[in-house]
Each structure stands twice: as C-alpha cells, then as structure tokens.
C-alpha cells in the first residue's frame, strides 16, 4: 500500500515547475526569444573558472580517492576548511565538528527540522515563503505556522511573529535575503527578532531554534546581511552554493550548528541522526572538494545588479508597483487583480511567465526571477506594457 501523504506530495502541482515546463513547450513552439520566462531561479551567471579548474584538478588526482565515500557528515578536511571560512568571514570560532555537509539547502533544512522538532511541534515562518518549508515541516510531523510579512515592504512583522509563538513552537525559519520578495532584513530588525525569541524562550521555558536559510547570503546590492548566529545563540545555518557559485544542479551545501547553542554537541548528534534517517549522508564527494577549493571565490552579482536596474526602471516606467529588491534575484510585483493566478494566466497571453504569489502562501502578487539574459528583460518591455494596458480599459 503506498503512503497517501507521499502520494499527495508527489501529485501536488508545483506551480513554479509547471510554469517552467509550460515555458519550455512554448519556446519550442514559437522560439525561445519570443517567451519572457521569469519563472525559475536558475542562476544565469556561469560558475566561476575556479570551479572548472577545481573539477579538472580533482579528476587528475588519485581516481580511487576522488570518488570514495566520505564519513557521513563529510570529508573531515572539507569540514575543517568550511569551519575556518565561517570563522574568518564572521569573526567567530566555528568548529569543523559542528559542520554537516549536505546536498544543497533543501536537505540542510529537511535534516535540521527533523533534528530539532518532535511530532506535534510548530514551526513559524513569514509568508510569502519558499514553498518546500511546508513539505519539510510536515515530513517532520510538525505544523508550519505562517505569519504574513508587513505589506507593502514585506519586512518582518515582529508583533505578529511574537503572537504566533507558543509552548509548541520549536523553530522559526528565517530567509534573508528573501525568496520570493528580494527583501533583506536590516540588522536592527534582526536584533529585535533575537531579543523577542530570547524573551519567549525564558517565558515558555523551551528552546526556540532559528533556522537561517541562506542561499542568497552574498547576493545583495549594497545592503548589509547580518551574521545571524552572532545575534542569536540558538541558530542553525543552512547554506548552499547553488546560487553564490551558480551550482544549483550539483547539490552542495552545509549545516552549521552554532557553537553558542547550549548543548550544541547533542544538537549536532541529532543532525547526524536525521541525516542518517533521511538518507542524506556523504554529500557528493567531488563537489565537497570542489567547493573547499573555492571558498574564497566571491559571488559575481554584477549581472544580477544590471538586470535589477533594467527591470525596476522598466516596471516603474510602465506603472507597476513592486518591492525594491535589496537582495537575491527576485522581484515581487503587485498583481493587477486580486487573483494572482488569474493575473499569471493573463500574462501568459503576452508570453510572460510570472509566478503567482499563492505558490508562496500569499495572495495578490507575482514573482519575477531576473536571473535571465538582460536582452530578454529588455525585449519583454512591450509585453509587460501590453499586460498593464490590458487592465486599464
């Protein structure tokens, strides 16, 4: 007998993938240059040359060692290199024994949730949010509690987050820079969140972990991205090189259990247990060693910065309302009708692929991924204008 919950998950439509697949079909029909595909967050910047060199060098080394199993949490030398990098970058003392290497941020978050919750617990996050948070939380047999961000800035609503926390809350998932809004939470707001969580921990007599989901840490346009573990002790960082090194299909990231957590050893042991239980052991070895050789390679945001400028200027000129994106490569735009799905459907008539906000647990907006060719953005102007004008009649 198949598991009904797993069947339902497998059968549930993923709007982003659905639009992406629709776009592939449409491009085959009418030509790739006629479709303005803002659907998916696949980096458009090539992986840096250091990545290629690391791959090639590794392939020339001992062929047995190159493809060997590593210990479940990763190659000790790579864990050490990551810990040193975290320490150097953030002025802290991270330990290799607190680093668990994963297949991207997805497995990092799924593992962390299983490690630090018990069935029936609640996990709080701000909506709109990365849709898989719900899947991973429910897989850990917990409930995801969605707290709407403050419109129209889509910054954190601290009072609302506080109101959602109770004796069953075991974690808050935080994502800054944010997918899908492009918002970056300022340091003062994060300090406010940390103060509130500390107060709640004392009041409720239980640990509330902050899971900091950081795929876009380096992708910012001038904004500061505070180092969350230095603001709040009970933090677990989930990092990935999917976006910073443009390696989304290679599946490589890590979990860092903050050393300041009281009982961090036990938390790390639970992380290892969850990794084992979920089958996420020994992340791809070649990639472990590739990223270890590229830790100091800076993310190239110049292309995204240019795209952001072109797109925001264009949308402002037409008359759309949107959140000024401070980070990541997403733009959050208000739908021209309350039903974002209907708006996204109408956009298709103009060959524009915009993801409706319902996919992220929030009505009335759409997400545009601007990690695409600048030319496509420029050429989409007439379609965006025609879509806008179709609502003015």
Kindly state the smallest distance separating residue 178's Cβ from ligand PLP, in Å.
7
Cα–Cα distance measured from residue 234 to residue 261, given in angstroms and rounded to the nearest whole number: 5
Binding segment for ligand PLP (CB under 6 A), chosen from 76-84, 102-110, 201-209, 381-389, is 102-110
Q: DSSP for 121-166, please give it.
A: -EEEEEES--THHHHHHHHTT-EEEEEE-BTTTTB--HHHHHHH--
Judged by CB under 6 A, which stretch of 101-109, 118-126, 160-168, 372-380 contacts ligand PLP?
101-109
Angstrom distance (rounded) from CA 392 to CA 212: 42
Q: Is 215 in the site for ligand PLP (CB under 6 A)?
A: yes
43 makes contact with ligand PLP (CB under 6 A): no
User: Which residue is associated with the tokens 């346009």?
Assistant: 221
Q: Is 44 helix (H, G, I), strand (E, B) or coil?
A: coil
* Site stretch for ligand PLP (CB under 6 A), options 120-128, 150-158, 240-248, 361-369: 240-248
Residue pair 125/144 in contact by the 8 Å Cβ criterion: yes
Check binding of 213 to ligand PLP (CB under 6 A): yes
Q: Which of 106, 137, 244, 369 binds ligand PLP (CB under 6 A)?
A: 106
Q: Is 275 in the site for ligand PLP (CB under 6 A)?
A: no
Q: What string of DSSP letters covers 81-116?
A: HHHHHHHHHHTS---GGGEEEESHHHHHHHHHHHHH
Q: Smallest distance, Å, CB 63 to ligand PLP?
A: 28
Using only C-alpha atoms, what is the Rg of the chain?
21
* Site pattern 56..95 for ligand PLP (x: CB under 6 A): ----------------------------------------
23 binds ligand PLP per the rule CB under 6 A? no
By beta-carbon proximity to ligand PLP, the closer residue of 58 and 105 is: 105
**Exactly one of 41, 43, 128, 229 binds ligand PLP (CB under 6 A); which one?**
41
- CB of 336 or CB of 368, closer to ligand PLP: 368
> Minimal CB distance to ligand PLP: which residue?
104
Please report whether residue 220 would count as binding ligand PLP according to CB under 6 A.
no
Tokens of 121: 């617990």
Continuous segment of H or E residues that includes residue 380: none
Q: What φ, ψ does residue 4 adopt, rounded to 5°? A: -60, -40
Size of the site for ligand PLP (CB under 6 A): 13
Cα–Cα distances (Å) from 113 to 2, 141, 261, 271, 313, in that order, read 24, 10, 16, 9, 40
Distance of closest approach, residue 255 Cβ to ligand PLP, in angstroms? 12
- Does an H or E element contain 350, and which? none
The count of other CB atoms within 10 Å of the CB of residue 29 is 9
Alpha-helical regions (H) of the chain: 4-11, 15-30, 49-59, 63-66, 76-90, 104-116, 132-139, 158-164, 187-204, 264-278, 285-292, 302-318, 340-348, 374-379, 381-389
Q: Does 182 bind ligand PLP (CB under 6 A)?
A: no
In this complex, which beta carbon is closest to ligand PLP, that of residue 104 or of residue 356?
104
- Residue 288 within binding range of ligand PLP, rule CB under 6 A: no
Out of 240, 244, 288, 357, which residue is the one contacting ligand PLP (CB under 6 A)? 240
Distance CA 329, CA 372 (A): 9
DSSP 297: P
Residue 190 or 387 with smaller CB distance to ligand PLP: 190
By CB under 6 A, residue 253 contacts ligand PLP = yes
Kindly tell me which of 126 and 270 has the beta carbon lying closer to ligand PLP: 126
Q: What is the nearest approach in angstroms of ligand PLP to the Cβ of residue 177?
A: 9
Q: Does 326 contact ligand PLP by CB under 6 A?
A: no
Tokens of 5: 């919950």
Among 23, 104, 229, 325, contact with ligand PLP (rule: CB under 6 A): 104
Give the nearest distance from C-beta 115 to ligand PLP in angstroms: 17
Compute the least distance from the CB of residue 288 to ligand PLP, in Å.
Answer: 14
- Residue 370 tokens read as 């601007």
Choose between 74 and 336: whose C-beta lies nearer to ligand PLP. 74
The residues of the shown chain that bind ligand PLP, judged by CB under 6 A, are 41, 104-106, 130, 175, 179, 213, 215, 240, 242, 248, 253
């Amino acid at each position: 007998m198949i598991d009904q919950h797993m069947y339902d998950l497998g059968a549930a439509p993923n709007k982003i993938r659905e639009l992406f697949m629709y776009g592939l079909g449409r491009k085959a029909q009418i030509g790739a240059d006629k479709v303005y595909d803002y659907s998916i967050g696949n980096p458009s910047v090539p992986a840096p040359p250091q990545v290629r060199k690391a791959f090639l060098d590794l392939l020339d080394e001992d062929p047995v060692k190159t493809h060997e199993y590593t210990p479940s949490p990763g190659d000790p030398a790579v864990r050490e290199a990551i810990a040193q990098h975290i320490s150097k970058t953030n002025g802290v003392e991270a330990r290799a024994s607190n680093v668990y290497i994963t297949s991207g941020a997805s497995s990092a978050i799924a593992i962390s949730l299983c490690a630090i919750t018990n069935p029936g617990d609640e996990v709080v996050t701000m909506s709109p949010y990365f849709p898989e948070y719900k899947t991973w939380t429910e897989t850990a047999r917990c409930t995801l509690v969605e707290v709407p961000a403050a419109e129209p800035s889509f910054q954190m609503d601290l009072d609302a987050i506080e109101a959602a926390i109770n004796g069953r809350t075991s974690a808050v998932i935080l994502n800054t820079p944010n997918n899908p809004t492009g918002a970056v939470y300022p340091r003062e707001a994060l300090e406010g969140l940390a103060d509130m969580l500390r107060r709640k921990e004392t009041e409720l007599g239980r640990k509330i972990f902050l899971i900091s989901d950081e795929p876009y840490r380096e992708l910012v346009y001038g904004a500061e991205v505070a180092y969350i573990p230095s603001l709040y002790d009970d933090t677990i960082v989930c990092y990935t090189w999917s976006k910073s090194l443009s390696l989304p299909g290679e599946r490589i990231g890590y979990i860092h259990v903050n050393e300041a957590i009281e009982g961090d050893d036990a938390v790390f042991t639970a992380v290892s247990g969850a990794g084992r239980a979920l089958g996420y052991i020994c992340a791809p070895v070649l990639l472990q060693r590739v990223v270890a050789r590229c830790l100091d390679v800076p993310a190239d945001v110049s292309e995204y910065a240019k795209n952001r400028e072109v797109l925001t200027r264009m949308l402002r000129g037409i008359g759309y309302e949107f959140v000024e994106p401070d980070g990541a490569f997403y733009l959050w735009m208000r739908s021209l009708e309350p039903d974002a799905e209907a708006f996204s459907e109408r956009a298709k008539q103009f060959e524009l692929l915009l993801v409706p906000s319902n996919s992220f647990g929030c009505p009335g907006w759409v997400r545009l991924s601007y990690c695409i060719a600048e030319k496509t953005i420029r050429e989409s102007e007439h379609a965006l204008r025609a879509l806008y004008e179709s609502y003015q009649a």
